[in-house]
Structures are given as structure tokens and as C-alpha cells.
Amino acid sequence: MKLANKKLVILAIFTAVLAGLATPFNAAMYSFIFKIIETKHLNWIVPFVVVIILGFVVFSIATYFNTVVINKNVVVINQRLKACLLQGLLLRRTVNDKNFVTQNLSFFMNDLKLLEDNYIRQLFSLISVAVTCVVTLAYSLANSVSLTLIFVIFMAFPTVIPRLFRQRITQRTANWSQQNGRWSSILKDALKGALAIRQYRAGKGMAHKTTTAINQVEHANAEMKNEIALSNAVVDAIFYVCTLIPIGIGIYLTILGHVSLSEFVAIQYSSNWIINSANQVVNSFNTLNSTVQIRQRIHETLKPMDAVTPAESSFDKLVLRDVSFSRGETPVLMAINLQVSRGENILIQGESGSGKTTLLRLIDGALTPTSGQIVINDQRVSHFGGMSTVNQTPIVFNDTLRFNLTLGMSFPDDVIRQACQEAGLASVINRDGLDYQIGDEGENLSGGQIKRLEIARAILFDRGLILIDEGTASLDEQTSIAIHKTILRLQKTIVEVDHHIPPEVLPLFDRVYTLHDGRLIANH
């Protein structure tokens, strides 16, 4: 609730208080019926009816505005929460998060919706319920303290029930969230691979996998809701018992003349609403408990980070000193030493799995060395904001060419076009324009054009150091040569890793290394 708008929250509380007064008003009016009958005041009937009608109108309007204000609060909280969460997740992204996309997609689309229904809206509804409970209790006490206390004492027993179910509900919710994330991942794969499944008539094979995932997520969802329902059912049963006993006592006291009929009716009617309100509060806490893990994850994601925001600066020198990296007990890189000066073009070759990509991820700060030191311009890698990366699998967005080039940052059109010209994308821009939609994963561009798009992005952001990870993999040799000629004439510092470079391109590099058995060997 820290992300809420304080004024809207106050307004929600105010309208909730008004709406919550409807129940004690109803209790008072219902009791007053018996008061009129007991006293036989016929002249009270008309004013009584008028007051009831006006009361219903006022409380109906208050309930409507309370709903409107709650919805406005939900909009504000969701906007701020999702924006902050996305920012936090992007800052925490590492190469080790293999299921980063599917897990967080499921979290945003499903878990946050559960949080809205089972936590945010529940908190606001609790305000109205609490007002109903407190004011109705006060009205009941005003009629008879002793009889009201009897009802209150019996109501205290069921409040311990939710604690007995809290852990089980949390476990069921965690299982549902896990199964839902798995189903989201499988569904995404199935949709992406629909063409291959159709071509190979493999629908039955995929159906088995998806059906299993669907069954698991639906059973997990049912188990979670059944656990909540069981807790609520136990609470309801105990509440009914604790309602009937004090009613019997109230009837006995009325017959003996200790309370009047109208007082008994007021207390009995009020007690029903007090019990129902308290029951709603208890059930609401059951529902709130179902979001514990979601809230913990949000808390972890929104924690302030100690990371320094890199300042953009010109590149001067990259130094790796005895850099080693291991995955668990398995060494990947051992005692890597490398120095790269401004304007140099460096190529590091090696077979697939030799650790080339890992080396680049160490240089760009996405991974941390197990031992050794990496510095750029004599400062930590995380403090340097002057590098770009051309990835083995280009990072593209289902948006326009302009957004894919600028990433939403502001650049003049002539500067964007110049970057595209240098990267060899001028023909695409001239034909389709900067607002051309490239489609999901760049489906409206060729493989070479997508590679050039990343190069144009690197040129546009004017980074002094460009890291290239298998930048021309899967492209034909002529396209590979053309792209390399584009990159290597940029007057930037280039560090490229690749397992195969056309012979015509090799002379364009100042130094060539081979990564073998975790060690960097200079080619002579």
C-alpha cells in the first residue's frame, strides 16, 4: 500500500465509513419498528418511512462512490507497482536466469491479478466491514452491555481457526503459482512451435505434454481454493454454533423482563451483522494469506540495490588480470589475461562451449569472475556505461524500427538515419520508413537485416566499446563479410567472439586469439 495515492486512500476510507454505516442504520430502523409497536405511536410511522427511504438512497450512493474510489486506487497501485516491479526486474536480470521471461510473464499476468483480488481489494473491503462491525457493536452495547458481551464472547472462539489453515493455504498457493508458471512456459513453446507441430503432424505428442500441464495447474488451483473453502466452512460452522447459543440466552432474558423486546431485537439483529462482519474479516485474512509468497517476491524485487548507475564515458582501455570463472565445481575460464586499447579490433575464436560467450558476459558485467579482476578505464566494469553488444541471438522488440533502434530514447531522425546508413540498413529505412513494424522476433526482417539493426543500435548510442557475440552466426558467407566490413570500419573498439570467421575478414583484426580448454592463446 506504500504505492497508493494518499488522497485517494483517504477518500476510499471516508466513503467506506459512510457505506459501513448502512448496517447499523438498518439495525436501528429494524429495532425501531418494534419500538413503534410497543409504544403504539402511530404518528411516528410516516417520518419513520421517510427516514428509511432517504437512508437507503444515501447509503446506496455512498456504496457506489466507494466502489468507484476503490477502483481508482487499484488503478493507481497497479500502475505504480507494475512499473516499479518491471524496473526492479530489469535491473536484476542476469544471464543465469534461464526462465526469466516465462516466470516473470506469468508473475505479471497471473500472480499480480491474484494480488489485486485477494489482497488490494480485500484491504479496502476490510475498511467498510470494520466500520460496520465497530459501529454496530457500539449500537448494540448502547441497548444492553451484558447481552452484547455474551454475543462478543462467543464470537471470539472462531477467530483462531484461520491460523490453523494459514500454512496449508500458503503451500497450496505456492504450488499453484509454480504449476501456473510451468503451464505458461509450455503454452508459449506450443504457440511458437505451432508451424513445426503442424508440418510434422505432431499434435498428439504436444497434446500429451500440454494436457499434463493443464491438469496440474487446474488441480493446483482447485486444491488452493478447496483449502480456503475448507477453512471458511469450518469458520462458518463454528460461527453458527456461537450465534445460536447467545440467541437462546437473549430469549430467556427477554422473557424474564431483563431486556425489552425492542432491545432484544436490536441486539439480536445487530449481533447477526456483527457476527457476519467478523466472519468476513476472518475470511478476508484467509484470502490475504494466499498472497504471502507473492508479496514476499514483490518485497525482494523492490529492495533498493547497491549497484552504481554506469556513467556514459569514452572508452580508453580494457584489462583482464588473471580472470577465472567456474560454474559450481566446473572451471570454465582459467587465468585469462587480456589488454585492449582504444581503436583495436580483437577476435577471440573457439569451439562451441569453449566459454566465449561467458568471457563477453564477464566483460560486460553480467557475470562476476570467480577470481581475478576486470577493469575498464581503470575502474570497475559496473561503473562504465560506454559499451554495446551485438548478440548471437539479436534482441529485438515487437515494435517499430525506430523503437528497436532507439529503445524509446530520444534521437533526431537524421542521426537515426545516419546510423542506419553506416550499418547498411538504409535501403530498409528508405523503403519502409522508421515506423515500420518489424513483427514478433523481427519476423518482417531478414536475418542479415536483424544483425544490422543491432549494429545500427550500437552506432546510434555511440558506444566506444562494442562486444560482438557470434555476430554473423547462421548467415551466409557474403553477408558475414559485408557485416564485418561494416562493423570493423566504425572507428570503435571491437571485441568479437566467433567460432568461424571468413578468411577474408581475418586481416581486418589487429589481434586474434583462440580460447581452448579455458585458456586464452594468442595466434601468431
The CA-based dihedral angle spanning residues 157, 158, 159, 161, taken in that order and rounded to the nearest 10 degrees = 120
pLDDT by residue (tens digit) across 121-164? Answer: 888 888 888 888 888 888 888 888 888 888 777 777 776 777 77
Work out the average pLDDT over 232-251. Answer: 83
pLDDT by residue (tens digit) across 12-62? Answer: 989 988 888 888 888 888 888 888 888 888 889 999 899 999 998 999 999
Residue 85, number of CB atoms within 10 A of its CB: 18
Please report which confidence band the pLDDT of residue 446 belongs to, taking 50, 70 and 90 as the band edges: confident
d(CA 470, CA 344): 18
Q: What is the amino acid identity at position 91?
A: L
Asked if the model's pLDDT at residue 165 lies above 70, the reply is yes
User: What pLDDT does residue 28 have?
Assistant: 83
d(CA 308, CA 274): 54
- By the 10 Å C-beta count (0-12 exposed, 13-18 middle, 19+ buried), 195 is classed as exposed
User: What pLDDT does residue 217 have?
Assistant: 93
Please report which confidence band the pLDDT of residue 207 belongs to, taking 50, 70 and 90 as the band edges: confident
Work out the average pLDDT over 455-480. Answer: 81
Check if the beta carbon of residue 38 is closer than 8 Å to that of residue 261.
yes
User: What pLDDT does residue 513 have?
Assistant: 92
Q: How far out from the chain centre does Cα 148 lie?
A: 46
Residues near 148 by beta carbon (within 8 Å), at least 6 away in sequence: 137, 140, 141, 267, 270, 271
Please report which confidence band the pLDDT of residue 98 belongs to, taking 50, 70 and 90 as the band edges: low
pLDDT by residue (tens digit) across 333-367? Answer: 999 999 999 989 999 998 888 888 889 888 988 88
Q: What are phi and psi of 40, to 5 degrees?
A: 55, 40
Across 82-86, 95-99, 304-308, least confident range? 304-308
Please report which confidence band the pLDDT of residue 75 belongs to, taking 50, 70 and 90 as the band edges: very high
Asked if the model's pLDDT at residue 308 lies above 50, the reply is no
User: What pLDDT does residue 94 have?
Assistant: 62
DSSP 262-319: HHHHHHHHHHHHHHHHHHHHHHHHHHHHTTHHHHHHHHHHTSPP-PPPPBP----EEE
What is the chain's mean pLDDT, rounded?
85
Asked if the model's pLDDT at residue 187 lies above 70, the reply is yes
Across 24-28, 222-226, 277-281, 322-326, least confident range? 277-281
Which contacts (CB < 8 Å, 24+ apart) does range 77-81 have?
77/1, 77/3, 77/4, 77/120, 78/112, 78/116, 78/120, 80/3, 81/3, 81/112, 81/298
Work out the average pLDDT over 309-317. Answer: 69
